[in-house]
Amino acid sequence: KAAFINFISDEEWKSIEPVSSWFGPSSFLMSSMSALFKLSMWIRHGHGYLTENLGIPVWGSYAVFGLATLFLGMVLGLVSEALRAN
């Protein structure tokens, strides 16, 4: 606590270089990282729900997420191809 108070009162904060906009909290990079973290947490909770609440074996949960990934890739590919054709 004392070190923080000294940091402020002695104006040591002026000697620290600010974070570049590329690594700022609202930058595209950090927003993307946040979205990926949220997605991983959603997948983790989904896996827990499938295995603990529904009683699906772990390999079954992996199969569900694997098939969902393949299906989503197929749908995105079809949409991309349809947009490219127009």
What pLDDT score does 30 carry? 87
User: For the whole model, what pTM was predicted?
Assistant: 0.60
Residue whose C-alpha is closest to residue 58's, from 47, 68, 69: 47
Helix then strand then coil, in percent of the chain rounded to 5, is 80, 0, 20
What pLDDT score does 56 carry? 95
pLDDT in tens, the chain (86 residues): 899 888 888 888 888 887 777 777 788 888 999 999 999 999 999 999 999 999 999 999 999 999 999 999 999 999 999 999 87
